[in-house]
Amino acid sequence: MNEVQRAKIVLKILNKTYPKTTIPLKHRNIFTLLISVLLSAQCTDLNVNNVTRNIYPKYNKPEHFVKLGRKKIEKLIRSIGIFRIKAKSVYNLSKTLVERYNSKVPKTFKELEELPGVGHKTASVVMSQGFGYPAFPIDTHIHRLAQRWGLTNGKNVIQTEKDLKRLFPKRYWNKLHLQIIYYGREYCKARECYGISCKICTSCYPKRKKPIKTTRA
């Protein structure tokens, strides 16, 4: 079985398992989506949602966070990992949006990736989930699953993104990103499936007996 055949199996199982997908990060607008994605680095979506549900009803525009200032932002998000670094990024990002973009989130990868604290993955999530632009955000979890399912042998998320974009039609990218995340959390966990027990793993590699080791992103 080659990677193209495995990709077809993956797509079929994911579409059957998750015919509809919802964005896991709660948000009120594209700006708060951007902030939530930024906060989610090295942190669970659940933790981010628990924190932001007390923030977004009152603070949901760039000017709100500029007015708050770094120290107050730190207090609001201190239960989130590396909160001081993230508070600095949130403040500087908000300031940039107010000063350069009339408080609007830009709609291009280039402009998004130039914002403080925003990398390619964060920009990809905003472009796909916020603006509906075809993108395939790759984090360490999707990187691990793509290796486990035989869709890439890339040693980093950059190569994995290229491989997945090549294997799957563009119209599926935005939904696939979320489907893979949900499937990994529910069925193909790093320390439970090991590449030998979930439906995708057993369908793509029916003869696999030993746990598969994946390369860290």
Domain boundaries, the chain: 3-21+136-204, 30-130
Q: Which CATH number fits domain 3-21+136-204: 1.10.1670.10, 3.40.50.720, 3.40.50.800, 1.10.20.60?
A: 1.10.1670.10
Residue by residue, pLDDT tens for the chain (217 residues) are 999 999 999 999 999 999 999 999 999 999 999 999 999 988 899 999 999 999 999 999 999 999 999 999 999 999 998 999 999 999 999 999 999 999 999 999 999 999 999 999 999 999 999 999 999 999 889 999 999 999 999 889 999 999 999 999 999 999 999 999 999 999 999 889 999 999 999 999 999 999 988 877 6
CA distance 204 to 165: 19
Fold that domain 30-130 belongs to in CATH: Endonuclease III; domain 1 (1.10.340)
Catalytic positions are 121, 139
* CB-based contact 110:116 (threshold 8 Å): no
CA distance 124 to 86: 18
CA distance 151 to 47: 30
Helices (H) and strands (E) in the chain, counts: 12, 0
Least Cα distance to 161 among 213, 108, 109 occurs for: 109
CA distance 90 to 99: 14
Three-state DSSP class for 57?
Answer: coil
Q: What is the pTM of this model?
A: 0.91
* CB-based contact 63:94 (threshold 8 Å): yes
* CB-based contact 99:106 (threshold 8 Å): no
CA distance 117 to 125: 14
